[in-house]
Chains A and B, each alone.
Chain A
Amino acid sequence: ETGVTQSPTHLIKTRGQQVTLRCSSQSGHNTVSWYQQALGQGPQFIFQYYREEENGRGNFPPRFSGLQFPNYSSELNVNALELDDSALYLCASSFSTGNTEAFFGQGTRLTVV
């Protein structure tokens, strides 16, 4: 059974650029959620995807968007990067959207300069 994997692990981008982060869900899981963790803070929910549809969104602007593919892997896209977007981005997968345990990948550390 493979766990949740994210790529890349580290990334440096320039303000105004666009970035795509990728996540492969754990085998058997159909739900992927993305979180942003600023330094010294707890992770904040960005959005969740269930069976290729967005299923809930946190307080993030529309320049944060995502996709989920038929194999349940997912992408997080951020347009017009701002310095405050520098953070650790975490992906979690779970068996469903309900009361099931979530498992996290190792994260992508994004630095915007």
Chain B
Amino acid sequence: GIQVEQSPPDLILQEGANSTLRCNFSDSVNNLQWFHQNPWGQLINLFYIPSGTKQNGRLSATTVATERYSLLYISSSQTTDSGVYFCAVTSNTGKLIFGQGTTLQVKP
């Protein structure tokens, strides 16, 4: 099956810093989503991005499907950005396959 690897596993930033999270996947995918898991466990949708580039405020994402990776950019980080970020992909089976996540801590 498809393997999803996220890096780095942990990231500590000072408030205001920028960061880049990476997601590599081992095979062609039909869908890719980025999520932020809040402290209560809910997965919040950030981007649905099978290919191309999208931006939403301080966050942006780029997926290069032909090279099997996606990047999530966080600019001017805030303490509220802390949490776990997951990348998840689907193939033709429709199920989401998640990476292990990147745990981000933003210090004031």
Partners in one complex: yes
Q: Quick one: which of A55, A102, A109 contacts B96, CB cutoff 8 A?
A: A102
Tell me, yes or no, whether B75 is within 8 Å of chain A by CB: no
A99 B42 Cβ-Cβ under 8 A:
no
| Chain A: CB-nearest residue to B6 | A42
Question: Chain B: how many interface residues by the 8 Å CB criterion?
Answer: 24
Provide the residues of chain B in CB contact with A109, threshold 8 Å: 41
CA of A77 to CA of B12, assembled, Å: 39
B96 A43 Cβ-Cβ under 8 A:
yes
Provide the residues of chain A in CB contact with B96, threshold 8 Å: 33, 35, 43, 45, 92, 102
Seen from chain A, the residues whose Cβ lies within 8 Å of a Cβ on chain B are 31, 33, 35, 37, 41-45, 48, 55-56, 58, 88, 90, 92, 97-107, 109
Seen from chain B, the residues whose Cβ lies within 8 Å of a Cβ on chain A are 4, 30-31, 33, 35, 40-43, 45, 48, 50, 86, 88, 90, 93-101
